[in-house]
Amino acid sequence: MDSGEPRFACRIHITRTIICIMMSLRSIFRTMTTLAPQAKKQKLHKLIGTHNGTFHCDEALAVFLLRQTNTYRDSDVKRSRDPAVLETCDIVVDVGAVYDEAKQLFDHHQRGFTEVFGHGFETKLSSAGLVYKHFGKEVIANKTQLPAEDPKVQTLWLKMYKEFIEAIDAIDNGISQYPSDIQPKYKSRTDLSSRVASLNPRWNQPTSPEILDAQFSKASLLTGEEFLGKLDSYATAWLPARDLLISSIESSKQTDPTGKILVFDQFLPWKEHLFELEKESGVADSDKAIYVVYPDDGGSWRIQAVPVTSESFDSRKALPEAWRGLRDDTLSAASGIEGCVFVHASGFIGGNKTKEGAMKLAQAALAM
Ligand SMILES: *[C@@H]1O[C@H](CO)[C@@H](O)[C@H](O)[C@H]1NC(C)=O
Ligand SMILES: *[C@@H]1O[C@H](CO)[C@@H](O)[C@H](O)[C@H]1NC(C)=O
Ligand SMILES: CC(=O)N[C@H]1CO[C@H](CO)[C@@H](O)[C@@H]1O
């Protein structure tokens, strides 16, 4: 049957076409589903909004910090004051007149904005402090490779606010470092906020949105380098000193039964930590350390009296009056301790050639 074949062929053809169409549909669907995650991935490249025109230290740093977080890593930046443009951003800093964490809006210029860092810090926040308050711990945990819940992250977060961010907040908000009308005796114009300000084009230099955006990128990196440098120094030098001090406080009663003489096997910056740790632990005044003993550069040992406050020249208990301003044999004779090197005229520091000698000086002074 001749006539059947074409009909059969035709049927096959139709079936093939249907299969073909179905397969095409499937492949379109597949393409759509494989494209979907890609589209999502592209959306993961978030957009940070901040104002255009002249830039400042606070939003330069805010943008840098945001780019160190998981959510906003490698984000693009859109600089504009146009609400319609800012609307398209995933987060907005330093513009928009709203502070609302839930909406990721972080401006500080609006009337009624009174946010401060807290933890004893009363300075009104700029966008740097605002972003640092919300994202700082995440950045610190990442950079120091510490778990977010490690107490050291909190310690560094507070330290970096105190030493680095608060000044940026204050300068941005026009808060003077010296609240009285005392005139400073000289100018210091190399602070970070000044250096960022001077990256803006000068009045007689060409400017354009492109130039400003490019300079803003430089400013953001500058603030970020400074931030990371400080953080690194606090994490790798300042914190380890604190740990050593804690262990010498813990073992102080083994060195001297009073526990008032702290001995370090090497010099370490101890003062600020000691005052902070005493404050945290609430130790009674009568149990506080009086002297610290540590080796100096030349292989001799020093005894230093703990000051009344970390900045003060007055000691909790200065070395005895009778020893002050004396050296070597005269001092050894006065103290009855051989090998003495010196006691400073104000009695805040003294030396002996050995650790044992320095300890004896400390113990004798404590008993006097
Ligand atoms: C900032 O952006 C707004 C809105 O896009 C624009 O009108 C204005 O000219 C820009 N200002 C500067 C200084 O570039
Ligand atoms: C920190 O961020 C980097 C860069 O994205 C990431 O690869 C790394 O896993 C993070 N490290 C920690 C400890 O969170
Ligand atoms: C090196 C040295 O002479 N050190 C002296 C420090 O003080 C002690 C305590 O009296 C002396 O015994 C040491 O000789």
CA distance 368 to 364: 6
pLDDT for position 44: 63
Question: Using CA positions, which residue lies closest to atom 5 of ligand 3?
Answer: 339
82 lines ligand 3 (CB under 6 A): no
Which residue puts its alpha carbon closest to atom 8 of ligand 2? 142
CA 247, 250, 254, 257 torsion-angle sign: positive
Ligand nearest to the CA of 208: 1
How far is the CA of 7 from the CAs of 15, 17, 21, 79, in angstroms?
A: 12, 15, 20, 68
Written as tens digits, the pLDDT of the chain (368 aa) is 344 444 444 454 545 554 444 555 454 444 444 444 444 445 668 999 999 999 999 999 999 999 999 999 999 999 999 999 999 999 999 999 999 999 999 999 999 999 999 999 999 999 999 999 999 999 999 999 999 999 999 999 999 999 999 999 999 999 988 877 778 888 888 999 999 999 999 999 999 999 999 999 999 999 999 999 999 999 999 999 999 999 999 998 898 898 899 999 999 999 999 999 999 889 998 889 999 999 988 888 989 999 998 888 888 988 888 888 888 888 888 888 877 888 887 778 887 888 988 898 899 888 88
80 CA to centre of ligand 1 in angstroms: 6
Under 8 Å between Cβ of 339 and 332:
yes
- CA-CA distance, 342 to 353, in Å (whole number)? 10
How confident is the model at residue 34, as a pLDDT? 43
Q: Within its chain, how far is the Cα of 56 from the centroid?
A: 19
- What is the number of the ligand 1 atom nearest to the C-alpha of 82? 4
Atom of ligand 2 nearest to the CA of 145: 13
> What pLDDT is stored for residue 31 in this prediction?
43
Q: Is residue 173 classed as helix, strand or coil in its secondary structure?
A: coil
Cα 44 to Cα 224: distance, rounded to the nearest angstrom: 22
Which helix (H) or strand (E) segment holds residue 326: the answer is: none
For residues 324 and 346, the answer to whether their CB atoms sit within 8 Å is yes
Q: Give the span between the Cα atoms of 232 and 215, in whole angstroms.
A: 26
Predicted TM-score (pTM) of this structure: 0.78
